[in-house]
Copies of this chain bind each other. A is one copy, B any other.
Amino acid sequence: MAQLSFELDRSSPVPLYYQVSRQIEAAIERGDLAAGARLENETGLARRYGLSRPTMRRAIQELVDKGLVVRKRGIGTQVVGHGQVKRQLQLTSLFDDLARSGQKPTTKVLTHEIAAADEMVAEQLGVDVGANVLHIERLRFAEGEPLALMHNWLPVQVASTFTVEQLESGGLYALFRSTGVNTRIASQRIGARNADAAQARLLGVRKGAALLTAERATYDDNGRAVEFGRHLYRSDKYSFEVMIVER
C-alpha cells in the first residue's frame, strides 16, 4: 500500500472521492498494484486518507464501475487482471476520439438542409411527424482517408444556428457544448451491412465491403432528444469497444 500517495487537496473543488479514485487508478496503471493484488480494507484506507468510510467507499466504487477492481463481501477488493487496458466508451464524437489519438480528422458536409421529420425520426427525436428538423450528411476523414459516412437529424430548436463551416471545423458534440447543450445519454444500436455502390464510392472501399453501422439517439441534461443519427464506418479502420460491469 506504500505506493499510494495519500495526498488530498481539501481546498480543491475536485471531490475527495474523485481525487482518491484517480490516485488508486494511477497506482494500478503504473503496476504498483498488480493484477490480483488485494487492496487494504475500506476502513483502513479511509483512516489512512483521513476520510470517512462512505467517501472511501465511493472512491472504490468508481474503480468498480470502470472494471478495474472487484469487491467481495468477506473477502476484500482485488485488482482485475486485464490483458490490455481498455477504455470505457464515452460520450464524445468520433471527431474528438480521432483528434485525441492524433489522427487529424477532417469533415466534408455533403448535405445541410431543413427537412420534414418522417415517422422514424419523429419518434426518435420526440417531435411531431412533419416537424422541421435539420438533416445533415457528413463524410469524415482521418489522415485524409475516408472513415465514416454520417447522417444526422436534429430538432431545429437545437440546431438552427449550425452552419456548414461549424460542422466542418469540429465534431457535433463540441458544437453542442459551444451552444449550451449538455449531452448526457446516448443509446446506440450497432450492426453490420454490405456497402452499396454509392457508399463504397464515398468511403473508398469496394462495393459489398462489410461496413459497421450505428444508429444513435442522444439526450441532453433536460432529458430531450437532441440528435438522431445513422452512421456507416469502414470496418478496416474502426471498431467499438464496450465494457460491461455486472451490477
Contact = CB atoms under 8 A, between A and B. Distances in A.
A186 to B, nearest CB: 5
A79 interface: yes
B243 A79 contact: no
Interface string A131-143: 0000000000000
A125 B83 CA distance: 7
Give the number of times this chain occurs in the complex, counting copies: 2
A236 to B, nearest CB: 9
A90 B193 CA distance: 24
A124 B188 CA distance: 27
Interface stretch (A42-50, A105-113, A221-229): A221-229
Interface residues of A, number: 58
Interface string A168-198: 0000000000000001111111111110000
B190 A240 contact: yes
A186 B67 CA distance: 9
A1 interface: no
B193 A124 contact: no
Contacts of A213: 192
Contacts of A72: 221
A187 B246 contact: no
